[in-house]
Structures are given as structure tokens and as C-alpha cells.
């Protein structure tokens, strides 16, 4: 077939797609009105997970799975915004990895609210200034983000979703050569993930820790002879030169972010549950507690301990397990587990990324 004929067919297909998108938008508006009248939550992570999973199962190509996810991320984002744009707090300023993670999860048709620190992300949700908050919780090479873990201990908010983001770091500056750089602004986690590179390539350069990767870029944009370790996006926002790319010490460097809300997420059939607990100091206490999950054939995907900050050498534990707290098997196991703990709290059950 000639190219002109193929293009006419594409134009016809595009017209049908446009009609279907507007029909979908109309239905989304109808649902938004019903939810508003009934006082129901508008963001439903389990429903969006179902939509994407169902379409991936039906996809026969040539559009890739990743391409399909990107297309529907924006379709869902636009349709969601027709009813009431969702406000999402993230660790700012603009250009941070939390900003990137929030955009990748919710699309571009949301109202993003930068927070000065992780505590402020939680506070904005708790005060109803936003519906959702996005915060980093752990990195594949550096481990947990302690600020987020500490907030989860006392906050009433629930984890309703997670975001896994591959993280690439760039050394950026107003300068055009690394030899001119005398100071580097960096977030502690970013420095931990590029410490070897810095030692080998920037010896003797002063390192200044800041609250976020985008704040590092902002400060570097204001000072001569300074640089930042940050994202490519932040470098573009603050008009900085990229001096070096991919400076993270390990390939396939991932950061996991959580989405927090006042509401719980419902079951999807492919969920994860996060729990914190504390135990009495006695031989085998942790073993006996965790054996409850083994006996119930429930897989634990993570265990972490943190000082309780209430008494010296007193610890709290964080675990992630496969399944939803409303699953019969998980509900029974958590009931038995709680009886063995001094304190236990379910942080949330949510779709696995």
C-alpha cells in the first residue's frame, strides 16, 4: 500500500480513538459525580492496578508493555482530573526523584505540591491540604530512608501504593569542567550511592549535605565553583551543565517510594502488606514471632530494625509480607502474630509494583 493510503487509515483510527477517549472521559465524570455524592474516595489504586493488568494481559503488540503503561498512565491521569484533580505532596523542590516518581505514577494531569522535607509530606496529607503524599522509603544499595521510617511509626496515614524508580545520578554545575569544582551539594542518600565515584574522581572536594537532590541543584545554580549530584531533570530545570553522567556506584540502582493516604487500599490479588512491631527482650522472641508467617505459608519480602528512640537498645521492626490484610490467611496470621508482640501496627496493604 502507498504511504498516503496508510496515513488515511491512521487518520481514521485516530478519529475513532478520539471518540472513544471522550466517551471514556464522560463515564469517568459520571463516576466522579457519584463518588462525590456518596463521599467516596476518588483515587482507587486497586482499580487502576486492575485496569493496567487486564490490558497488559490482552496486549498482543507491536506496542510494548512499557509503552502501553505510559499511554494508559496519561489516559487515567486525564480522566481522573476531569472530576477533581488529585493533589499530591512530594519531597521537593521541582526536579527531585520524588517529583519524577510522582509524575511516573500519576501522570502529568495532577496537582503536585512540593514539600520542604519528608515530615512536611506527611503533615500536608494529615491536614487535608493534599490527598496523597509520595516519599522515598528505601534504596537498593543504601537501604532504608530513616526519615520516612520514623514518620511511619507515629503517623496515622496508610501506605496505599508503591513506586519503583531506577535512579541515575549526574554531576552538574554552572562550571564546564570538574577541575573548577570546589564544593558539591548532595542529599545523604545520593552521596551514599555515589561515594566510591566521588572518592576516585573528586578527592578533596568539600561535600555539603542538603534535604533533597533538587535542592542540591538549586544551590549549585546560585554559586560559582560548586556542583550538585542530582537528576538529569533537575539539571535541565536549573540550566546546569552535565559534567559527568551515571556516577552511581552500582548499576541497576533503584529507589522505592511509598504513596500515603488517609484511606486504605482494597485487595487486588497481588498485594503487599507493611507492618511495624516491637517485642519483649527474651531468647527467641523474634524467631517465634516470625514463625507464624512460615507456618501460614506467607512470604516475608523485607525485615528491618530501627531504634525505638524511647529507650536505649530498644528496637522496633518493619516487615513486608506478600498478601493483603483482608486476605483470610493473612488476617489470621496477623491476629496470631499480634498476640506475641508488645506493639503491632499495620502500615497498609497495597498493590505490589
- pLDDT tens, residue by residue, 271-304: 999 999 988 878 888 888 899 999 999 999 999 8
| Residues in CB range of 256: below 8 A, 6 or more apart | 136, 137, 138, 139, 140, 162, 163, 164, 165, 353
Predicted local distance difference test score (pLDDT) of residue 319? 92
Q: Which fold has domain 271-351?
A: Alpha-Beta Plaits (3.30.70)
Task: Confirm if 329 and 296 have CB atoms less than 8 A apart.
Answer: yes
pLDDT score, position 318: 92
Specify the DSSP class assigned to residue 263: S
Stretches in the chain below the pLDDT threshold 70:
1, 308-313
User: What is the pTM for the complete model shown?
Assistant: 0.80
Give the architecture-level CATH label for domain 3-83: Up-down Bundle (1.20)
Q: How would CATH label the architecture of 171-245? A: 3-Layer(aba) Sandwich (3.40)
Class for the domain spanning 87-167+254-261: alpha beta
What is the pLDDT at residue 90? Answer: 93
Strands 241-245 and 170-173: antiparallel
Domain ranges of the chain: 3-83, 87-167+254-261, 171-245, 271-351
Amino acid at each position: 500500500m502507498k504511504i498516503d493510503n496508510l496515513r488515511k487509515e491512521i487518520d481514521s483510527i485516530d478519529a475513532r480513538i478520539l471518540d472513544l477517549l471522550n466517551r471514556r472521559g464522560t463515564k469517568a465524570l459520571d463516576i466522579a459525580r457519584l463518588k462525590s455524592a456518596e463521599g467516596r474516595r476518588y483515587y482507587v489504586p486497586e482499580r487502576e492496578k486492575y485496569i493496567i493488568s487486564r490490558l497488559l494481559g490482552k496486549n498482543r503488540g507491536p506496542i510494548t508493555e512499557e509503552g502501553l503503561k505510559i499511554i494508559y498512565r496519561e489516559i487515567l491521569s486525564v480522566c481522573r482530573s476531569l472530576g477533581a484533580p488529585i493533589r499530591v505532596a512530594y519531597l521537593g523542590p521541582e526536579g527531585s526523584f520524588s517529583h519524577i516518581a510522582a509524575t511516573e505514577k500519576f501522570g502529568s494531569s495532577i496537582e503536585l505540591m512540593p514539600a520542604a522535607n519528608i515530615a512536611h509530606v506527611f503533615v500536608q496529607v494529615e491536614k487535608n491540604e493534599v490527598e496523597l503524599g509520595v516519599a522515598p522509603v528505601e534504596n537498593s544499595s543504601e537501604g532504608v530512608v530513616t526519615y520516612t521510617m520514623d514518620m511511619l511509626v507515629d503517623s496515622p496515614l496508610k501506605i496505599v501504593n508503591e513506586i519503583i524508580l531506577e535512579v541515575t545520578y549526574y554531576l552538574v554545575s554552572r562550571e564546564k569542567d570538574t577541575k573548577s569544582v570546589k564544593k558539591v551539594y548532595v542529599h545523604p542518600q545520593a552521596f551514599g550511592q555515589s561515594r566510591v565515584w566521588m572518592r576516585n574522581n573528586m578527592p578533596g572536594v568539600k561535600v555539603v549535605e542538603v534535604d533533597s537532590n533538587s535542592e542540591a541543584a538549586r544551590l549549585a545554580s546560585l554559586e560559582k565553583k560548586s556542583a550538585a549530584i542530582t537528576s538529569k531533570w533537575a539539571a535541565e530545570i536549573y540550566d546546569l551543565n552535565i559534567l559527568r553522567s551515571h556516577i552511581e556506584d552500582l548499576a541497576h540502582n533503584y529507589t522505592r517510594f511509598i504513596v500515603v493516604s488517609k484511606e486504605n487500599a482494597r485487595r487486588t490479588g497481588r498485594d503487599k502488606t507493611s507492618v511495624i512491631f516491637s517485642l519483649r527482650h527474651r531468647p527467641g522472641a523474634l524467631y517465634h514471632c516470625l514463625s507464624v508467617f512460615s507456618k501460614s505459608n506467607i512470604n516475608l519480602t523485607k525485615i528491618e530494625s530501627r531504634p525505638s528512640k524511647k529507650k536505649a537498645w530498644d528496637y522496633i521492626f518493619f516487615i513486608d509480607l506478600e498478601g493483603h490484610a483482608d486476605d483470610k490467611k493473612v488476617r489470621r496470621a496477623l491476629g496470631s502474630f499480634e498476640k506475641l508482640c508488645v506493639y503491632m501496627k499495620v502500615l497498609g496493604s497495597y498493590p505490589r509494583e
